[in-house]
Amino acid sequence: MIRRRRGYLGGAFVVVHRPQGATRRAAVLLLPPLGYEDTSAYRPLRVLADALAERGHVVLRLDWPGLGDSPGCALDDDLHARRLDAARSARDALRAAGAHVIALGVRAGGLLALAAGGFDDLVLWGVPPSGKRYLREERAFHRLASKGFGDVEGEPLPEGAQEAGGFLHGPAVVTALEALIPGATAAGRALLIGRDDAAPEEALVAALDGAELTLEQGSGLGALLENAYHATLDAAVRDTVLAWMPTESGEVAELHLEAELVLDHARERPWELEVDGRMLSGVVCLPATPRSEQDWQVFFNAGGIRRSGPNRLWTRAARQLAGIGRASLRFDVHDVGDSDGTDQPWSDLEAMYAEASVADALAAVDWVIDQGAAAIDVAGLCSGAFLGAQVSARRTVRRAVLFNGLAFVWDDDARASSMTAHIRGSLLDGRRWRRLLTGKIDARALAGSIVRKGRLRAASLWASEGAPDPVDALLQEVMARGTDLRLVSSEGDPSIAYLDAHVPPDRRPPRTLLAGADHTIRPVQLHPRVVDFVLG
Amino acid sequence: MQEAVRELVGKHARLGVDASTLEPASDLYAAGLTSLTTVHLMLAVEDHFDVEFPDHMLGRATFESIQAIVEAVEELVHA
């Protein structure tokens, strides 16, 4: 059994995983990747932290400043320094608690661990040989992924900034990362795990020349970073890390965490709620001076992406909402982010649209109602749009802003629509093609889905003949309850065809098209518009 | 060179199909290559052939097939 505790330490949001019983002296500071890779790896690294805690190790995970639920923005000039400070503060807190401190850094997290320095031992997984090389990989990734979105109008990126996968490295961070070249690093022991099927980088081996080195041919990095929907922890890597860990017993004292994060115009604190025996996790963001009758916003997960939202947009929107006096809750449904549930990636789309996820969303909204909310707004993207529609049909919601909803009612037509849309949209997810080619998707079932997709296109015709279309009926019900329902679709997104197939033109809620955006709303120039939609 | 590239594709592209069954012109993206795995493949190709793809070659066209990769490497080797 383990305990997880959330709070703030050294200017960062942190999660402490702790065994219920006796501890081992070696504790782990888990330093995640940056940006898109952090989004993908979040749940699998939580699984790794749990596995270490189950073996008796205290594990401290952090969100880097500027990411997740930590303070800071991509363009902050001092962001790199604050990241190093956060790592050092966590290291020092663990050491003060009596721990032998091991930094476990993944990708850029490993580079930052080396830059922070002062760890007793190191585990580095898929860490590039320099910051410059890392940025080049990020640039390549962005150029390769950018087929999915077009040229957009908007503010150009600040000179020297670099986008990768919907996240921005500000000019100051780029400059700092470019200068990161691991020098001679003192560490007692070090475990180096390379990229998939590759040996650890020679530059890292050289930098750790004085340490007792264990080198592992890499595996599992691609599976860790693929995307938040599929990401998984490679069992071989997990076992390698567990076997390498020191086993000496030793008491590691409880860490003191701050319960609240104070920002310029907002205060944030971790949130938990038990639903059907499962603990849901989230973050409440309050205005600096909350009122007794408060307007609230609730944000829903976008598929497997944690509560901070696609490209961290929900964290950003929450803090701006607090600045205009509105409170918010962003949380994870079960199986996602820090909420209880599976350790494995979802095997199909069903989980995202399950009634149990709707129950989680309703419970979160009910909690907000219990806080005395004067009015509740909701926002969601993709499966989060589904949750937003379902909640708005069952609770009093003032305003619902739903981005790229591929299904508002989960039935056979939605299964067909979403399956074909996801496969047709494989520029976002080539693994679906692979699963089809390797027989992991039943080709006959797929063919049936496509046939049903053809039927789906006739849905609005059926509606005109008197048979109610469930999607149309749901959206009419939402609007009839007085909800100001706003739909936003990326240009060319399958959500457009889905709505058109189900709802006649004269009955559709207002819909805005975002030119040049992909399904998860990249590139970053479009993010201010998304926040503006949420703010209303 | 084509067989070396094919071997690298097999090891680093995380395709759902056996790389030995691919035609030189087969679309690697249709076979499951993603943006992320392309970066891993790019690094492996660079390491193996001791080349570095310039920024203007960091696009899907460079990695869309075994043949395209071979042509890109030949261009860099003979540059």
- Confidence (pLDDT) at A465: 58
- Per CATH, which fold does A266-410+469-535 belong to? Rossmann fold (3.40.50)
A192 phi and psi, to 5 degrees? -110, 120
Among B28, B33, B34, most A C-beta atoms within 10 A, so best to mutate, is B34
The ranges of chain A annotated as CATH 3.40.50.1820 are: 2-129+183-244, 266-410+469-535
Task: For domain A2-129+183-244, give the CATH superfamily.
Answer: Alpha/Beta hydrolase fold, catalytic domain (3.40.50.1820)
- Confidence (pLDDT) at A417: 64
Among A137, A143, A440, most B C-beta atoms within 10 A, so best to mutate, is A143
Extract the residue ranges of chain A whose pLDDT is less than 50. Answer: 420, 423-462
Nearest Cβ partner for B36 among A143, A226, A434: A226
Nearest to A106 by CA among A194, A203, A33: A33
How many angstroms separate the CA of residue B47 from the nearest CA in chain A?
10
Beta bridge partners of A379: A299, A401
Q: How many CB pairs under 8 A join A and B?
A: 73
**A266-275 and A399-403 as β-strands: parallel, antiparallel, unpaired?**
unpaired
Contact A197 B44 (CB under 8 A): yes
User: Is the CATH code 1.10.1200.10 the one for domain B2-77?
Assistant: yes
- B25 has a chain A CB within 8 A of its CB: no
CA A515 to chain centre: 24
Which residues in B lie closer than 8 A to residue A198 (C-beta atoms)?
Answer: 12, 43-44, 47
Contact status, residue A485 vs residue A536, Cβ threshold 8 Å: no
- Confidence (pLDDT) at B79: 77
Contact A430 B60 (CB under 8 A): no
0.95 exceeded by the pTM? Answer: no
Contact B34 A221 (CB under 8 A): no
CA A237 to chain centre: 22
Measured between alpha carbons, how far is residue A156 from residues A135, A149, B38 in Å?
A: 19, 16, 27
Which residues in A lie closer than 8 A to residue B17 (C-beta atoms)?
Answer: 434, 437-438
Buried b (16+ CB within 10 A) or exposed e, B16-47: bbebeebeeebebbbbbbbbbbbbbbbbbbee
What is d(CA A276, CA B33) in angstroms, rounded to the nearest whole number? Answer: 40
- Confidence (pLDDT) at B32: 86
Which residues in B lie closer than 8 A to residue A221 (C-beta atoms)?
Answer: 40
- B2 has a chain A CB within 8 A of its CB: no
Which residues in B lie closer than 8 A to residue A440 (C-beta atoms)?
Answer: 16
- Confidence (pLDDT) at A153: 64
- Put simply, the chain A residues between 114 and 143 with a CB less than 8 A from any chain B CB are 137, 139-141, 143
Nearest to A338 by CA among A279, A268, A260: A279
DSSP, collapsed to helix, strand or coil, labels residue A360 as: helix
Here the ipTM equals: 0.85
What is d(CA A121, CA A200) in angstroms, rounded to the nearest whole number? Answer: 16
Instruction: Return the domain boundaries, chain B.
Output: 2-77
Other CB atoms within a 10 A radius of the CB of residue A165 amount to 24
Beta bridge partners of A61: A15, A30
Position A401: which residue type?
V
CA angle B60–A156–A171, rounded 5-degree value:
85
